[in-house]
Amino acid sequence: MADWSTLPEELLFLIAIRLFSVVELKRFRSICTSWRSSVLGNNDLFPNRPLIFLNQLRGIFPTQWCPVNSPFNAFLSRAAFFCVTLSSSSSQGWLIKSDVDINSGKFRLIDPLSGLAMRHLCERLDLLEFTISEIREAYQVLDWDTRRKTSDRFKRVILVKDKRGDQRVLGICSNGNIKYWKRSQWKVKQFAYRFSDVIVHKGLTYALDSTGTVLWVSSKLKIYRYGPPLGDNITNGCSGERSFVECGGELYIVDRLFGEIFRKRKGNANFVSVETVGFKIYKFEEELGKMIEVESLGENAFVIATDTCFSVLACEYYGCLQNSIYFKDAEEDQMKVFKLENGSITTMSQPSQSCFQMFVPSFL
């Protein structure tokens, strides 16, 4: 039989970071001396997410480190969504999002939908009480000097494999262009399309243009049309915003419909704002290359965040409504939920509202 104590330390580390609770980590470290020394026994249950500097994707540097006069000014900041449950009762849990504060290098909680830092009253947690599992990861491009978003603003950023199998950063700009990082600068890929989203699904990269057409993006960044457009869904003269969502191994397109455009005043400036009035959902039939409108999500709910979109099984989260979409409107802090069964929208007025409990952990 194999001697488990002689397993490579690198392998033991890869096993340890996939454990879901501090209890499992302590059990792991109690096996033998080599297992205990392979991973620290601290209570940092959330995995550390080092920054990825674009000029050196193969090298990953700790969050607290950056060389003086570094050429690696552009980097990817990573955030993750977690399902948090009580170890004593893991039937339901909460949805939280975390990233690393760029200035302090410390873990922090952020709003799951807007990405803004959250304030919480609890300073210390006994992590032995919780089981935490990661369900989604998201990226944004920042500048090391300013700690802010770069001048190239991106609606969506993903990591893909190029033709040599290396990782490549691919982003959808605010103007709808596709950009990719190559040789210390962003390159624009010229297409006739204006893109609204991009996703890696079953190992393939798909892009979604502003009309709802699904396109396949090859490793050489060539575009092949896959599905027909959804058509112009227009409400009160304002077109929608379209996004990809994976659910149950299938690919869906969410068409977000806006109402009238109206102007708001913020400080000394006026800005244009739109309000979401509804959603339409389509399932992408890959083999047929067709879009089929979906009337129900069954037991699932969709979460529409600023940097990614994904699905959850409603029964696994406190108060989560099945057959619904959770979202926020731009420039607004109010969380909302759209119910597909009747087309109604409920706005969060109090944190105690049952349908929003999944976003308000009781331990904070």
Give per-residue pLDDT as tens, 204-238. 999 999 888 899 999 888 888 887 777 544 344 44
C-alpha span between 305 and 205 (Å, rounded): 20
Q: What does the pLDDT read at residue 123?
A: 60
Band the pLDDT of 95: cuts 50, 70, 90.
Answer: very high
Give the least confident one: 64-68, 83-87, 290-294: 64-68
For residue 298, pLDDT beyond 70: yes
pLDDT at 337 over 90: yes
Q: Is the pLDDT of residue 128 over 50?
A: yes
User: What per-residue confidence (pLDDT) applies to 251?
Assistant: 94
Of the chain, the percentage scoring pLDDT greater than 70 comes to: 76
Report the pLDDT value the prediction gives residue 236, as an integer from 0 to 100. 42
pLDDT of residue 34: 82
Task: Give the residue-averaged pLDDT of 325-330.
Answer: 92
Q: What percent of the chain has pLDDT over 90?
A: 29
- For 168-199, write each residue's pLDDT tens digit: 889 998 888 998 887 677 888 878 889 999 99
pLDDT at 114 over 80: yes
- For residue 333, the model assigns a pLDDT of 80
Beta bridge partners of 226: none
Q: Which residue has the higher pLDDT, 143 or 197?
A: 197
Residue 239 has pLDDT above 70, yes or no: no
**Range in 18-27, 49-58, 80-89, 297-306 with the lowest mean pLDDT:** 49-58
- The confidence band for 60, taking pLDDT boundaries of 50, 70 and 90, is very low
Is residue 279 helix, strand or coil?
strand
- Outline where DSSP puts E strands in 183-308: 185-189, 195-201, 204-209, 214-217, 223-225, 234-235, 238-239, 241-247, 250-266, 269-285, 290-294, 300-304
pLDDT tens, position by position, 248-276: 999 999 999 988 666 665 556 666 677 89
Residue 8 has pLDDT above 60, yes or no: yes
Whose CA is closest to 80, among 127, 47, 39, 33?
Answer: 47
Mean pLDDT along residues 293-301? 95
Q: Which amino acid is at 17?
A: I
Which sequence spans correspond to the domains of the chain?
Answer: 4-37, 230-364
Instruction: Assess whether pLDDT exceeds 60 at residue 66.
Output: no
- H or E segment to which residue 11 belongs: helix 9-16
- pLDDT of res. 237: 43
